[in-house]
Amino acid sequence: MLFLICHRYDRDFHDEYYDLHRRDAMAMEHLTTSPFVLDIYSYCGQSAINEIAYDSVEKVAMRMRDNPAASIYKLKMATQVAMGVADIHECDGPSENGVSMVHYDLNPRNIAVMESGTVKINDFNVAEFMKWDTVEQRPCKFKGRLYEPWWRAPEEVIQPKEGMDSHILDEKADVYSLCNILYRILTGRAPRGKSIPERLELVRREVSQGIPPRLPGLYLDTEDDALIALRSTLVHCYQVKPEDRWPARDIADHLYQKLESIMSDGEEQ
């Protein structure tokens, strides 16, 4: 069995950093049953022993850019990422009382690609463990604290309402970030372009206004069923209002059904 020992020698020993690593370890341990979340074997302080990964979705997607032969693997990868996000949200089992956990930092760098080609979600340092409001009888939301717009949802980057000191979020922020990852897998490109300071306010305005990333013409004109399945899925999670976005499990099921259909048709031929 291969594993990786991760140390953070460059960080001081502050309570904040201990809490980040505690969240990471607790989340990964709780998600051991998911085949789409990286395994953890032990942790202490600011060190952890994790399952070893060979690459990231970010780098693999870039290498598959505009490669028509990679379409089926792109759909497989997207399906596995969506299943991983759904497993995170349902880590205590599916429930009418809302989700159990929110990753809150989904981006292609935080998703590992294993030697087998399977993808696994990693990096739960800022995960939110969701609570239930016993008075209102509804899931509690959480305060946003990450504001750069590159992988964020509209509700995370708009100006907070008067009297509010932060954005109030739920699991649908993860769904929008998942959509950005699907875009990256589909096109091999960052959905909002280069993450440079000079573009920060422009991208913030686009995201806050609900403007989705523009797809290159290659993916608008394609007749490849796998790419069409990926492209059509973007519509269901690139929604301005969180309540209009599909739940992660619905996205995962949709992609899985498309993948199964395409694979079955290929076998029949």
Give the pLDDT mean for 136-142: 85
**Residue holding tokens 């091999």?**
188
- Cα(105)–Cα(245) distance, integer angstroms: 18
Superfamily of domain 54-268: Transferase(Phosphotransferase) domain 1 (1.10.510.10)
What average pLDDT does the chain have? 88
pLDDT value at 191 more than 70: yes
Q: Are 153 and 173 in contact (CB under 8 A)?
A: yes
pLDDT value at 1 more than 50: no
Give the pLDDT mean for 189-210: 92
| pLDDT (0 to 100) of residue 38 | 95
Extract the runs of DSSP E, i.e. beta strands, from 53-136: 55-56, 101-102, 111-113, 119-121, 128-129, 132-133
| pLDDT (0 to 100) of residue 9 | 58
Q: What is the pLDDT of residues 202-234, one digit of tens each?
A: 999 999 999 999 999 999 999 999 999 999 999
Beta bridge partners, 5, equal 49
| pLDDT (0 to 100) of residue 136 | 83
State the pLDDT confidence band at 164, using cuts at 50, 70 and 90.
Answer: low
- Listed in sequence order, the residues at least 6 apart from 219 whose beta carbon sits closer than 8 Å to its beta carbon are 186, 187, 227, 231
pLDDT value at 8 more than 60: no
Structure token digits, residue 100: 């159990």
Integer-rounded Cα Rg, in Å, for the chain is 19
C-alpha separations of 192 from 55, 114, 145, 177, 204 in Å = 22, 26, 20, 12, 10
Give the pLDDT mean for 165-185: 91
Q: What is the pLDDT of residues 86-99, one digit of tens each?
A: 999 998 877 666 78
- H or E, element range at 178: helix 172-187
